[in-house]
Structure 1
Amino acid sequence: MKRTLTALALLFAANPALAEGTLQLFNWGDYTSPELLAKFEKETGIKVTVTDYDSNDTALAKVEAGGAGFDLVVPSANYVPIWIEKGLVQELDLSKLPHHANIAPEWMNVDYDPGRKYSIPWQWGTTGVAVNKSVYAGDVNTSAIWLDPPEELKGKINVTPEMNDVVALATMYVGGEPCTEDTEVLKKARDALLAAKPYWMSMDYGMEDKMATNDVPASVYWNGAILRARLKNPDIVYGYPKEGFVVWMDQVMLLKDAKNVEEAYKFLDFIMVPENAAMISAFARYANGISGTEPFMPDDMKDAPELVIPAELKDAGHFIPTCSPKAQEYITAIWTELQK
């Protein structure tokens, strides 16, 4: 789930091609397998142009502003109801998706889209803490690493600038639940974040390379990107904070004003074929929500510690719901204060 917005992507966004036989995919940066796109184009003749974004809010604002020309977008679960309520996406015609039954049962009747009427799984993962064990050899399964840092990590920590994930982690660290409206709990979370910020070196993306090259010793980040970093640098360790960590899923949705609708349906059905879903995972290194992909997954992912949550920590994982307007207002206020 790495977020990288490029100048080239902005250029495409300004005037995307809408010709027949093309498809416009609006997706997180460094999250779409080139091999998958090449296979899709070879089999269908449809050329896919990918435009990157770096956050859920960026994607939502861009599409809501109108005129972007995208066909498909890949929001996180807690944003799916927002896209639906705003009328920015359309209900899927399941008769055009013969592989819809391949969606894994546990990812079919999800609270944010029961029966998968609006969305198709892309990838799912966790937001936790990554540490270079050559710098810090202590417990990695705690948010104390970045909210109450040990001496050896002070001034050496990155925090991903993803508002809902970061505030949720801090809220759980102080004993609350994600999306709480409890102002006393939220004040504790805010205070913890503001007290910790002086010990951070950055709030940035791109941690796969920065951690792999030892430029950043610790970071709040996404598990798949850290798996990629660890394959380059075995000193990288991923931790699941026992106080609470975030579980998320991204999914593909068909935009209301999509121009290349038939092409979009072909792509949506294509990514539900197990072999193709495995290609998505093999590139970005996250799990997917399609049944039958296991035989096609890379061997180094099958038992990867970044993907296999320790049994004793599974209950600490929290799937962030869509926050109430009041809770989101509080979260945004905390985030705004943190950015000062």
Structure 2
Amino acid sequence: MVIAAVLLASTSHSFAEGVLNIYNWGNYTSPEMIKKFEDKYKVKVTITDYDSNDTALAKVRQGGSGFDMAVPSQNYLPIWISEGLLLESRPDQMENFKNVAKEWADPDFDKGRHYSVPWAMGTVGTVVNTDVYKGDINTWSIVFNPPDELKGKINVVPEMNDVMDAAVLYSGGKKCTGDLNVLKKVRDTLIAAKPNWVAMEYNTIEKMTSGDFAATSDWNGSAFRQRLKNPAIHYGYPKEGFVDWSDNLVILKDAKNVENAKLFQNFMMEPENAGMNSGFHRYANGIAGSEQFMPADMKDAPEIKVPAEFAANGHPSETCPPEVQALYTKIWTELQK
């Protein structure tokens, strides 16, 4: 009995007390869902925001971040894995893995789901206030060769690979291309377009709905939240092509609160919890059955359910070869000047 009591106390302490430090994109985590986790497991959760994949990767590469978990995008996740930054937590062996949708159970970016749990998924497109511009919004011309009505009122979300992929597709190339002729066209397109932009920042929900921006490149869930505040704001699926992406919840190799982090991975594969989170950030997720726990307006929202006429234009996000990524970075650095 004494041994059993000691084991029980030890298990209770490691699984049901303490803290959990999550490093995540800003405005991307449901406070209600976090409170549910805290109340259930008596774990205090702290969330620290980052604004880009590159910011997160650079911070974690330094080591000693103090974070237990992060949420990298699928095109960056293989880098985190290959550099040994993650704990092989084996979500595929957790109780709630049975809820992961079949198409997300064995993705190329994390074969067998040995490291990651689905968090959210979406697309990258254009967002336009149609009170300002009433023309075609389903084109990257909105950003790269804008109509007069939008010049000086355009924002570009500065996630490097999203912008580079969009410019490559707009220029007639294929994602992750190393073709120097295409990349020269991409570079010239970006440099010529920049004077028409008013900003390059992530704060699109507030500034689109306030009227500070009339158009922006953006993610679909952000566009959805903008439309809920202003029905004149609409999301476009560029005919030149757009990227499908996912973000995924991982545990860092140097995490201090591993058991609590594993609890949270399993918790996020519960349909009700994933649905609650989606109801906040307004993106779909990879957990089967979570739809019934989402707001009713998400079921057929045009930002979530890609219209049939645009579906063929989607391209999965992927990890570019290092030499291509170096070329992208060179163009991107020049664009920042």
TM tier, smaller: over 0.9
Structure 1 position 218 matched with structure 2 position 215: yes
Does residue 283 (structure 1) correspond to residue 280 (structure 2)? The answer is yes
Stretches of structure 1 that go unaligned for 5 or more consecutive residues are 1-18
1:167 maps to which residue?
A: 164
What's the counterpart of residue 7 of structure 2? Answer: none
- 4+ aligned runs moved over 4 Å, structure 1: none
Q: 1:106 aligns with which of 103, 107, 127?
A: 103
1:52 match: 49
Corresponding position of 1:7? none
1:232 aligns with 2:233: no
Deviations 1:267-321 (A, max 9, x none): 1111110000001100000000000111111011111111111112111111121
- Give the total of aligned pairs: 322
TM-score (norm 2): 0.94
Given candidates 282, 292, 301, the residue that maps to 2:298 is 301
Query: TM-score w.r.t. structure 1 length?
Result: 0.93
Query: Counterpart of 1:99 in 2: which secondary structure?
Result: helix
Structure 1 residue 168: deviation in Å? Answer: 0.3
- Asked if residue 189 in structure 1 is aligned to residue 186 in structure 2, the reply is yes
Q: Work out which of the residue numbers 13, 19, 24 in structure 2 matches 1:22.
A: 19
What is the alpha-carbon distance in structure 1 between the residues aligned to residue 290 and residue 215 of structure 2?
A: 32
CA contact (8 A) 1:213 1:233 kept: no
Point out the more displaced range, 309-318 or 232-241: 309-318
Structure 1 residue 82 corresponds to structure 2 residue 79: yes
Alignment match of 1:120 (pick from 117, 133, 157): 117
1:20 is displaced (CA, Å) by 5.3
Aligned partner of 1:188: which letter? Answer: K
Amino acid in structure 1 at the alignment position of 2:216: S
Larger radius of gyration: 2
Q: State how far apart, in whole Å, the 1-side matches of 2:181 and 2:107 are.
A: 31
Distance in 1 (alpha carbons) for counterparts of 2:63 and 2:108: 28
* 1:208 to 2:192 alignment: no
Question: Which of 118, 141, 150 in structure 2 is aligned with 1:153?
Answer: 150
- Assess, with a 3 A threshold, how the Cα gap between structure 1 residues 79 and 181 changes in structure 2: closer, same or farther: same
- Partners of 1:90 and 1:40 in 2: CA distance: 21
CA contact (8 A) 2:120 2:285 kept: yes
Match of 1:179 in 2: 176
- 2:84–2:253 CA contact under 8 A, matched in 1: yes
TM-align CA RMSD: 1.2
* SS of 1:216 mapped into structure 2: coil
**What's the secondary structure of 1:153's corresponding residue?**
coil
Equivalent-residue separation in structure 2 for 1:99 and 1:194 (angstroms): 48
In structure 1, give the amino acid aligned to 2:75: N
